Structure 1
Amino acid sequence: MTPPDHAGTVPEGDQETVAAEDDPAHSVTLSVAAVARRLGVAPATLRTWDRRYGLGPSDHTTGRHRKYAPLDVARLELMQRALLRGASSAEAAKYALTSRLRAPLTAVPPSLTGGELDGGSAPAGGRGLKLQAENRRAKGVGRAALAMDSAAVQSLLADAIEADGVVTTWDEVVRPVMAAIAARWEHSGAGVEVSHLVEECVLAAVIRATPVVTSPRNHRPVLLACMPDERHNLPLYPLAAVLAQRGLGTRQLGAALPADALASAVRRTAPSAVVLWAQLPRYADPGVVAALPRTRQQVRVFAGGPGWERGVVPQPAERINDLASAADAIERAVC
């Protein structure tokens, strides 16, 4: 073999060999390092899957380098996606080994997405997230989030919304996962990027599930806004989705809406109701509620979010709590 030059570069002929081994598009078999990069896992994980479940390279023999054939990689992809969908390692490996594969994986069977697998359950939360409740969909979203797989997170959320609705998905999937991520951050100081990724995926999934209401049942809109300086506006989106599904028209005013802008919006739209969200107690200012401008027609005011739990909600404003009861209260008020 030709030695490298003084700069430490690989000779031209050997560069082609390396590319053939590590580039999935130009090789018949892949090295451990190439497969690990393709799946986004550590090489040690592949060795563990091989040793524990028999998901290793089919052409590996003693004294030879480990090389993964396309079907080997397809089985590993099947196992990885099944893990992200909420299956335990043993369940995912069993399915990958018993599946008949003729081509690279393109989809995960529904049996791995709906929590219908038999066998022992994985530790709650899996891979670092400790969920308070046992929920396969939440565990799948948690695994996908920690893997920074936004496509899997959005796909799981879309499946959950289609199967169970926005309210159940929010209460049983999104909130537990977000709480587990927050607890992980409080314990280790890590995971801010995971939280941001999940929030963006939730936002996208909920917006897709929000119908456009062209002929609303309420003649005057419902304004949804955060208190001044409050930037946690994600919970307003599932509320808007549920109200839209019930045929109610809303106006989203977003995060950190200044008090004068809120007053202007109330004057211009003459809403039937205003929802003011405060995630943190320091933003739950009763003075903002009391200062809302008076209109000719009555405006129902609702104070939502955990920030109001210990604060004072001035009359005649009403405190709303969980998503389902909040939607019910608003619907009664405006219809």
Structure 2
Amino acid sequence: MATGPESTLDGIPRQGEVPEPALPVAAVARRLGVAPATLRTWDRRYGLGPRDHMTGCHRRYSPDDIARLELMQRALVRGASPAEAAEYALKAHGNVREAPPRPVGVPGSTVLAKGLGRAVLAMDAATVQRLLADAIATDGVITCWDHVVRPVFAAVAGRWAHSGESIEVEHLLHECVLAAMITATPLLGPTHNTRPVLLSCAPEERHSLPLYVLRAALARREVGTQMLGAALPATALGAAVRRIGPAAVVLWAQLPRYGDPSVFDAVLANAEIPTFGCGPGWAAVLPGHVERLDALGDAVDRLEAVAIGV
């Protein structure tokens, strides 16, 4: 009986001799956890498609093709841009000693944060939106923001600060998070508060995304708000306060250059309105009638109590 590498046992081919089947796009997408459109984009932009694909035929991925895609995913998770990850996957397949691109890890250890980081670095908007919706449905908007979204923003911002790259990734993440928070904000009928909580950025401050998180969380507790958004001039903000007569005023400052405490006196002629400074940009000392709210979770509890008079 032959004993060489091609021998069989009782006429049955050895397991290693049976080739793995090629898989269609949908099956590979499920295996990798990405949208089928993402695979087509990777093929078109970076050449990470089926090596044996013929024009006019359906794409079917061989085990080698899938291995390259898995290498690309691994590099994306470690913080590479899509172009860097694709280059690494094409070069490194079959050469395990080649180092992956410079990593920029996503802070935090939650599975959702890692999945979101992988999806946003792959510019996979559909998967980003699905992961955000799952996180909000499971844990609520505040937990999603603190433990899923913020770690990914920090990683992307760190990469941009280090190399000037990935600003397009940050923009994609911002737009997806904004859409998710608007979707998570219910349309309210009667609310617990007769007068709304006014939400606005400080004058010239354009980082309004946390206010949308705050609005969604308050709406889910049936607390009505009035959103004025980013970069409203102080004169317009003061006029809005006089016209609305809010239950409370919340001003957000992300950057220190916009966190000038004098804006509170310029805007709020009526110091009897409860006033809050939110965000990391405010100066250490705020006017006596202004209360600092550092964490969005604490802000929701405090604003709900003020708005409904608890």
> TM-score, normalising length from structure 2?
0.70
Counterpart secondary structure, 1:307: coil
Match in the other structure for 2:274: 300
Alignment of 1:252-267 (within 5 A): 252-267=227-242
Alignment of 1:140-289 (within 5 A): 140-289=115-264
Query: Partners of 2:62 and 2:217 in 1: how far apart?
Result: 39
Query: Partners of 1:183 and 1:167 in 2: how far apart?
Result: 23
| 8 Å Cα contact 1:272/1:298 also seen in 2 | no
Alignment of 1:57-96 (within 5 A): 70=58, 72-73=60-61
- Letter paired with 2:280: P
Match in the other structure for 1:136: 111
- Letter paired with 1:42: Y
Q: 1:155: Cα distance to partner? A: 1.3
| 8 Å Cα contact 1:281/1:311 also seen in 2 | no
Query: Partners of 2:187 and 2:69 in 1: how far apart?
Result: 36
Q: 1:42: Cα distance to partner? A: 3.0
Match in the other structure for 1:318: 291
Q: 1:36: Cα distance to partner? A: 6.5
Query: Partners of 1:156 and 1:227 in 2: how far apart?
Result: 31
Q: 1:128: Cα distance to partner? A: 4.3
Name structure 1 gaps, 5 residues minimum: 1-23, 25-34, 47-55, 61-65, 90-125
Query: Partners of 2:102 and 2:60 in 1: how far apart?
Result: 24
> TM-score, normalising length from structure 1?
0.66
Q: 1:294: Cα distance to partner? A: 3.6
Count of paired positions:
246
- Letter paired with 2:164: G
Query: Partners of 1:290 and 1:148 in 2: how far apart?
Result: 44
| 8 Å Cα contact 1:283/1:307 also seen in 2 | yes
| RMSD, matched Cα | 3.3
Q: 1:200: Cα distance to partner? A: 0.5
Query: Partners of 2:213 and 2:285 in 1: how far apart?
Result: 25
Q: 1:292: Cα distance to partner? A: 2.9
Cα pair distance change 1:305/1:151, threshold 3 Å: same
More RCO (CA 8 Å, sep 6+): 2
Q: 1:312: Cα distance to partner? A: 2.1
| 8 Å Cα contact 1:127/1:146 also seen in 2 | no
Q: 1:268: Cα distance to partner? A: 0.3
Q: Give the fraction of aligned pairs with identical amino acids, expressed as a percent.
A: 48
